[in-house]
């Protein structure tokens, strides 16, 4: 005898047309006289088939976001590496000005009245500038040399030479300045200051830039507090941030001093570090809030 339970077990196969001919006839014969199995068959036929998702747009969007996040993390890591490298190289190449040493700095003249300065390989580098003599008859040259940690570890064996007057200008005098607020020393020519010495002073322009940055940071901060709900407030905020990072870069490169004998070098490094710190802050801030939103 065929029971309802047996038919109910066969109904899924019957709906999928997977029964043999005899089993199919058996199920159909039972369905003609069994209302309960007929209802079961209707339920199976009305079952909703879940469609397979074929839209790949959300997946592609998620992949793009993951790829973009990887690029941002990579760029942020690169900026951090450049910040560390900039500070390290600045420290390693920071000039340590040296007193005049006749054995390491030799001044001579050629038959063509060219003044040649030869430097010992223990010196890292030199700086030479000139100005007109008071009587206009020639030029006065100011020379200094320095060493640094970089040169100490990776000393060049190449001897440095320079021609003071490559175009044949008249050299009235060559003074050496040690870069430590001491009187300049005459190393060639005639002393044009017989009644007193001369002193090459460091530049104070970094001090003006630092004061200007402090003022901009204060103005930017006040402007952001007043207009923080408006678009203008964002401009003041960025102005304050850039000024802050310039001040921070100055402290990293020069410490608490604002004097410099090589303004171009120091200012260039400070500006580069300011750009790196500002860019790193913006990108790091963006990554932080993006990660925070995903965690919610």
Q: Check whether residue 153 and residue 14 sit in a common domain.
A: no
- 236, 224 contact by CB (below 8 A): yes
> Average pLDDT for consecutive 10-residue bins of the chain (296 residues)?
79 83 84 86 71 67 82 94 95 91 92 91 89 88 92 70 91 90 87 75 91 96 91 93 97 92 93 97 90 74
Q: Check whether residue 86 and residue 214 sit in a common domain.
A: yes
Q: For position 51, what pLDDT does the model report?
A: 57
Q: Check whether residue 81 and residue 218 sit in a common domain.
A: yes
- 151, 143 contact by CB (below 8 A): no
Distance separating alpha carbons of residues 149 and 96, to the nearest angstrom: 9
Q: The domain containing residue 139 runs over which residues?
A: 97-189
Q: Is residue 117 part of a domain?
A: yes
Q: Is residue 102 part of a domain?
A: yes
From 92, 93, 95, select the one nearest 202 (Cα to Cα): 95
- 44, 16 contact by CB (below 8 A): no
Q: For position 48, what pLDDT does the model report?
A: 46
H/E stretch holding 247 reads helix 231-254
Q: For position 282, what pLDDT does the model report?
A: 94
Q: Check whether residue 103 and residue 171 sit in a common domain.
A: yes
Number of structural domains (the chain) is: 3
Q: Check whether residue 101 and residue 185 sit in a common domain.
A: yes
Q: Check whether residue 176 and residue 241 sit in a common domain.
A: no
Q: For position 158, what pLDDT does the model report?
A: 63
Task: Look at the alpha carbons of 185, 191, 192, 195 in this order and tell me if their dihedral is positive or negative.
Answer: positive
* End-to-end alpha carbon distance in the chain: 62
SS3 198: coil
């Amino acid at each position: 005898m065929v029971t309802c339970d047996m038919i109910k077990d066969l109904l899924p196969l019957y709906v999928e047309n997977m029964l043999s001919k005899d089993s199919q006839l058996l199920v159909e014969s039972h369905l003609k006289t069994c209302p309960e199995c007929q209802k079961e068959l209707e339920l199976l036929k009305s079952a909703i088939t879940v469609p397979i998702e074929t839209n790949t747009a959300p997946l592609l969007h998620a992949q793009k976001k993951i790829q973009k996040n990887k690029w941002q993390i990579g760029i942020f890591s690169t900026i951090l590496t450049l910040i560390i490298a900039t500070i390290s190289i600045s420290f390693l190449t920071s000039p340590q000005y040296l007193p005049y040493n006749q054995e390491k700095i030799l001044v001579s003249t050629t038959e063509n009245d060219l003044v040649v300065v030869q430097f010992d390989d223990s010196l890292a580098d030199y700086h030479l500038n000139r100005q007109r003599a008071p009587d206009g008859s020639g030029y006065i040259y100011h020379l200094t040399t320095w060493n640094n940690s970089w040169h100490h570890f990776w000393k060049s064996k190449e001897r440095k030479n320079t021609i003071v007057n490559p175009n044949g200008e008249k050299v009235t005098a060559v003074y050496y300045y040690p870069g430590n607020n001491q009187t300049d020393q005459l190393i060639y020519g005639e002393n044009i200051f017989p009644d007193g010495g001369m002193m090459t002073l460091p530049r104070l322009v970094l001090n003006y830039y630092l004061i200007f940055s402090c003022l901009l940071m204060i103005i930017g901060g006040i402007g952001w507090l007043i207009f923080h709900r408006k678009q203008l407030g964002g401009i003041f905020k960025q102005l304050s941030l850039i000024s802050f990072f310039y001040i921070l870069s100055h402290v990293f490169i020069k410490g608490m001093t604002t004097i410099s004998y090589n303004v171009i070098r120091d200012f260039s490094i400070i500006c580069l570090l300011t750009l790196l710190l500002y860019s790193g802050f913006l990108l790091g801030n963006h990554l932080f809030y993006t990660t925070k939103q995903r965690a919610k």
